[in-house]
Each structure stands twice: as structure tokens, then as C-alpha cells.
Amino acid sequence: MKQKKNTLLIVDDENTNLKVLTHILGGDYIIYTAVNGINAIEKAKELLPDLILLDILMPEMDGYQTLSAIKQTDEIRKTPVIFITGLDSKEDEEKGLALDAADYITKPFSASVVKLRVRNQIQIINQLRMIEHLSMIDELTHIPNRRSFDNRISLEWKQAVREHLPISLLMMDLDKFKIVNDTYGHQQGDVVLKTLAGVFIRALRRPADFAARWGGEEFVVLLPNTRLEGALEVAENIRAAVEKTQIPCTCEPDKYSEISMTISIGVNSMVPGKDDKIDTFILNADKALYMAKDAGRNKVIPSP
């Protein structure tokens, strides 16, 4: 599959410079343009480019002021910025670096230098994104991990508070998983975890729904904008799907069979207010999970 092109926002009040840089870089990147600092910030917030090329000498709001504003804007403060400038004194360079400019491209433009400096920054961006992506994925099951869940629930919680929306959480634990490890070995336990992680992902119907491995044999499902009734329905679908799933088991050499598992699920749902805490929300879902365990396992129990 063809890799998606990275995006650049080029900011310059001179139309000639915009055309030249677009000609140099347009074959390798998706190019957006802006003609002043205010326009640049608005477009950057809307388009979220991978890299910004920013002219220093612009009327009303120069490049230094624009970069300072970018660094104070949550959506784009981590976007790297390369200054494009005719200024080449040591003081100018130090000022830009003090504001966290990633690099400099000087005028008149050398096509090869422009391409190299932009390529270097884009490579760094892509490598950092790959590292971040890998750190958010559980190595065994290849679904999001606890860290990824923490980030996601923080975002969804803020939106739920801001817009007075319901949010639901499923805390899920595989029943008697230790017996699988003790009976068939840890490799078979890994097969169980990987197989059922796929069941959880397939059970989710909306793009915003989110499943993650909490740790060990515990998993979580986050359901934004979902009330208790809807969350219980999703939980019951997952419980039934796990119960019906036949998991491959190479229990002995040259023998092949299948094993089945069940799962216990605790469900919590609320419309959070500004004084409510995520930790309490998760704790109550966890308490419901242990109620499901105490009730005989293979059950879905809502938080009281």
C-alpha cells in the first residue's frame, strides 16, 4: 500500500516564495500555504500539518511572534517549525533556536538544501510517531495497551464533562485463566489472549469505541456517548462471543484440539461533572467486575 504523503504548511507574505517552495517540495509532500502569522495559526489548527516552514520577516506579526504563538497553542505546539529567512546573522539564528525552531533555510533558495532540510525533519517526525505508536500497542495482542487507554479516557472524559455526555466502561477479566496456563502452558495462554483480543475488537461497532489490554488477563472497553443500557448490551454481546469462541490448542505434540473460555464483565456508566474523577469511575467498574466474579463468573454486572 502506498504510504500517505506528509503535509507541510508554508508561511510567507511573498507569493513568489510560496510558488518557488511549492515547486521544490510539491512532488514529495502535500502543500498548504498561508500569507501571514494569523492565517498560519488558523490553518495549522485546522489542518495539523506535519511541518511548518515559516518566514521571519512578515508585516504585523513576524515569524518570531508567530512561532511563540504556535508554541502556546495546544493543538500545534509540538509541530516543528523551520524558519525561512534572508537573515543570516548569529544573533538571528540564536533567537530562532531559543524559540525552539527546528532548523533554518536561507534565501535565495537552493532546491537541494531545501529538500534535504525538510526531509531530515520529516524523517525525525515519522520515526518519533512510529516509536510513540509502538509504545501504545500491547506487544502480545497487538491492541492498545494501558498507556494508550489512559490517554484515550482522559480525552473522552473531558469531552463528556464539557458536553454533558454519558460515558461507559467495561472492565473484563478472563475466568480461570490461571488454570489454562497451569494446564497447557504459557504459550497456550498467549494464544488465548491474542484470540480473545480479536473478539473484543470485532464486537465494537463505532469508530469511537475503544478496547485495550489492561494487564495480564484483564481488558477494558471504553464506550463514549453511551448510556448504561447500551453498555450492557455491548458487554453481553462480548460475553456471549467469548463463550462461543473455540480457541486453537496444540495441547500435546501431534495433537490438535480446541478449548473455550468465559469472561466476567463489570460495567459502569455516568454523565460526569467537573468534580467527578476518572479514578473513581474506573474503580466502580472494577468493583462491578468483582461482583460478577463473586456471582459465579461468566456474567455481566452493572455498577450499583
User: In this predicted model, what pLDDT tens digit does every residue of 161-189 receive, in sequence order?
Assistant: 999 999 999 999 999 999 999 988 899 99
Choose, from 14, 60, 139, 217, the residue flagged as catalytic: 217
Cα angle 42, 47, 53 (rounded to 5 degrees) comes to 75
Would the pTM of this model clear 0.75, i.e. be above it?
no
Q: Rounded CA gap, 268 and 227, in Å?
A: 9
Q: What is the CA radius of gyration of the chain?
A: 26
Pull the grid cell for residue 45: 489548527
**Type of residue numbered 117:** R
Active site residue 217: yes
- List the one residue out of 94, 45, 38, 85 whose CA is nearest residue 66: 38
pLDDT in tens, the chain (304 residues): 456 899 999 999 999 999 999 999 999 999 999 999 999 999 999 999 999 999 998 988 999 999 999 999 989 998 999 999 887 666 766 776 677 888 888 888 999 999 999 999 999 999 888 888 889 999 999 999 999 999 999 999 999 999 999 999 999 999 999 999 998 889 999 999 999 999 999 999 888 899 999 999 999 999 999 999 999 999 999 999 999 999 988 666 556 688 999 999 999 999 999 999 999 999 999 999 999 999 999 999 999 8
Pull the grid cell for residue 32: 498548504
- List the one residue out of 11, 49, 60, 76 whose CA is nearest residue 68: 76
